[in-house]
Amino acid sequence: MIGKTMAALAVAALFSGSLAAATPALKDGTYTGTGSGRNGEITVELTVKAGKLATVNVVRHGETAGISDAALARVPAEIVAQQSTAVDAVTGATMTSEGIKAAVADAIRQAGGDPALFAVKKVGKKQAAKTIKENADIVVVGAGGSGMSAAVRAETLGKSVILIEKMPTIGGATVLNAGTLIATGSRYQREVMKETKDSPELAAEDIFRVGKHKNDPVLVRMVTERVGGVVDWLIDDLKIPYGPAATQYPDHSANRQLGVTGRSVNYLNLMREKFLGMGGKLLLETRAQSFITDANGRVVGVKATDAAGNTVELTSKAVILASGGFGADQSMLPPSMKNYLFYGVDGETGDGLKMARALNAGTINLDLVKMYPQGVETRPHHGLAATASSTDTMKASGAIYVNNRGERFVDENAGLGVLTEATVAQPDSIAYIVMDKAAWEKYVAKSLEDKLVPDAAALDAWTKIVNNGHPVMAVSDSLEEAARTMGIDPVGLTKTVTHWNEMVKAGKDADFSRKITGGLGEGPYRIVEQKVRYQTTLGGLKADAGLRILDTAGKAIPGLYGAGCVVGGANGADSMTAMMNSWAIVSGVVAAETAVADLKYPRKIRHKEKRTARRLARACRTVRSFSGSG
Ligand SMILES: Cc1cc2nc3c(=O)[nH]c(=O)nc-3n(C[C@H](O)[C@H](O)[C@H](O)COP(=O)(O)OP(=O)(O)OC[C@H]3O[C@@H](n4cnc5c(N)ncnc54)[C@H](O)[C@@H]3O)c2cc1C
């Protein structure tokens, strides 16, 4: 009770400006503090002047560019403005925000202050929430790869567009991708890449093979037939800087892989400029909640909320859902995937999927995700993609993969698809990489080179992470002890390592034909879990070739279109390299074209359309030539 009263007095003192009287004053100077972000440690520099928090600068971090940017800019500024660490986290970058706040609290402690007294929320005068109403021809929900493509295409076709994005920045999961695209059927492929044997049929064959024939054939046909026109539009009309991709992956049976200069981040920024330049309206931190429908069930807008808690009612003639996947919401995936780690973007919560299902939309392949091996669970259900570290270590050391019985089960140098399937088949769907001292040094070196973690200490800290009683890493001079810590049968593992070292001596892996690069030697031994990880969901809403969203009976829901990951089926059970991004861009363009074509131009051409009549006529010709399969 007394403690509570003291704290209350101190808090009151803080806000009455007489902090010095109640608590030790902050000593002027510059202090360094650390906190834990999404990808590891965040370091800030705090300057105290006249006993106040004068500046906060993040001086070191390993957070993901494009996703953490808003938090890195906004949270330090807010802390200084409010003289409090109890500021709001930035949506979609909560872990980064919390890491910055913890680092400032640490620095406050070093400045002689009590962080608890700065962790009190300043209550400002709350503005009453209002209802904001806007109207446009088309509302696009989600400003990732597919949404930006749809919004720009619809604007170039003379339609007014409002693009809403729930995060403080555009980009979604697209921010993280390399920006590759297939060139099948484009002028660019024929004339610049000099490829003539490619065709929609050949591309479709590749897509079906990699997708294990779980694809929706309607969408495969559409994307392979339409991508050429979209590529020419991007390169020739919009001048987006595509060229042959730096890495040509072997899963494509023709020369068709393009890459954009500056990865997808550059694509997104260029498209945003074009969109805004044509008069498009972008509303950030505006989250769609439900559709507005008319008496006939036609979708005529979106109800959303903004960061200030206002209701935003956007009415339109059509809505294009481009809200991405649902991988961040594990509850939407089958229970068999409970051990799989998500390493995509936290905003992928399936909002659009849920909104459309409320209108009885049909779905396809909701149990399929794009999987990779070698994830390390650094926070519950979320993982680091440690593939390069494991792959390099396996190529140049005697490290092995075992299951929880301590048995090897695969050629450690097999392709990622084989490793994923082999991992899924193990008793707990987990592989364990067993490393001696030399192998660990390689693992550390590659992890640092790839900036997987900010420093070696962050890797050592994996021993402290335990998920549901299951540690991420064990380290010990005794192999048996390390095995026991990880829940691996120690007898089984010892037998396996003896047998492995014998085969290494004989120069032949009689069990899995691995190329011999050494055995397991001196400890300390480290064992790190390797879980299946995924970023992209492959299933979603059912759509026709024009990206009209279909209901459970297969009938188009009037006024509703979809693009990107919210629409399922195009990539089946797995996607070829470049195909997720190709799908996002092509489906965005096609959804916009279909929506515009379906709108039917009003008899009385409105003022804006009169001004753009010539452009409109040209655009209509393009719509017709693009929409053969729609
Ligand atoms: C780490 C990583 C690497 C990848 N690498 C590649 C690669 O190299 N090649 C490849 O082809 N693919 C790759 N992919 C996959 C590819 O990036 C995605 O499939 C594609 O970008 C999805 O585009 P999208 O427009 O559907 O979704 P996103 O780009 O995720 O866009 C959806 C947007 O909608 C917003 N949103 C969601 N709900 C709402 C709402 N209620 N209101 C308003 N806005 C909302 C989201 O915040 C987001 O900005 C990668 C993915 C990840 C995570």
Residue showing tokens 């301590």: 406
Atom of ligand 1 nearest to the CA of 304: 42
Residue bearing the CA closest to ligand 1, atom 50: 177
Give strand pairing partners of 472.
none
Q: What phi and psi values does residue 591 have, to the nearest 5 degrees?
A: -60, -45
First to last CA, the chain: 70
- Residue 624 alpha carbon to ligand 1 centre in Å: 29
* Per-residue pLDDT reduced to its tens digit, 149-158: 999 999 999 9
Helix 217-232 / helix 200-210 crossing angle, nearest 10 deg = 130
Give the pair of three-digit tokens for residue 250. Answer: 């072997």
* Per-residue pLDDT reduced to its tens digit, 477-523: 999 999 999 999 999 999 999 999 999 999 999 999 999 999 999 99
- Residue 376 alpha carbon to ligand 1 centre in Å: 22
Burial 57-84 (b: 16+ CB within 10 A, else e): ebeebbbbebbbbbbbebbbebbbebeb
pLDDT at residue 246, as a whole number = 85
Does the pLDDT at position 569 exceed 70?
A: yes
Is there an atom of ligand 1 within 6 Å of 202 CB?
no
- Residue 339 alpha carbon to ligand 1 centre in Å: 22
Is there an atom of ligand 1 within 6 Å of 371 CB?
no
Is there an atom of ligand 1 within 6 Å of 166 CB?
yes
pLDDT at residue 24, as a whole number = 60
- Residue 565 alpha carbon to ligand 1 centre in Å: 7
Distance CA 551, CA 544 (A): 11
Is there an atom of ligand 1 within 6 Å of 265 CB?
no
Mean pLDDT, range 527-546, rounded to an integer: 96
3 state SS of 515? coil
Residue bearing the CA closest to ligand 1, atom 31: 144
Beta strand 29-36 with 161-164 is unpaired
Q: What percent of the chain has pLDDT over 90?
A: 77
Mean pLDDT, range 300-305, rounded to an integer: 98
* Per-residue pLDDT reduced to its tens digit, 97-148: 999 999 999 999 999 999 988 988 877 777 789 999 999 999 999 999 999 9
pLDDT at residue 23, as a whole number = 52
* Per-residue pLDDT reduced to its tens digit, 393-419: 999 999 999 999 999 999 999 988 899
Q: Which of 305, 369, 536, 541 to mutate to test the pocket of ligand 1 (most atoms within 8 A of CB)?
A: 536
Is there an atom of ligand 1 within 6 Å of 53 CB?
no
Per the model's pLDDT, the better-predicted residue between 609 and 192 turns out to be 192
Is there an atom of ligand 1 within 6 Å of 319 CB?
no
Mean pLDDT, range 543-558, rounded to an integer: 98
Is there an atom of ligand 1 within 6 Å of 344 CB?
yes
Is there an atom of ligand 1 within 6 Å of 179 CB?
no
* Per-residue pLDDT reduced to its tens digit, 31-42: 999 998 877 789
Mean pLDDT, range 270-298, rounded to an integer: 97
Mean pLDDT, range 325-330, rounded to an integer: 94
Whole-prediction pTM: 0.83
* Per-residue pLDDT reduced to its tens digit, 11-23: 333 333 334 344 5
Running DSSP on this structure, what letter comes out for residue 236?
I
Residue bearing the CA closest to ligand 1, atom 48: 172
Count other Cβ atoms within 10 Å, centred on residue 265: 18
- Residue 226 alpha carbon to ligand 1 centre in Å: 21
Mean pLDDT, range 266-287, rounded to an integer: 97
- The residues, any chain, with a CB within 8 Å of residue 291's CB and separated by 6 or more, are 299, 301, 302, 303, 319, 355, 356, 358, 359, 560
Out of 15-29, 31-45, 460-474, least confident range: 15-29
- Residue 229 alpha carbon to ligand 1 centre in Å: 22
Q: Which of 581, 582, 586, 589 to mutate to test the pocket of ligand 1 (most atoms within 8 A of CB)?
A: 581
Contact 96, 72 (CB under 8 A): yes
Distance CA 580, CA 174 (A): 9
Q: If you average pLDDT over every residue of the chain, what do you get?
A: 90
Residue bearing the CA closest to ligand 1, atom 15: 580
- Residue 251 alpha carbon to ligand 1 centre in Å: 22
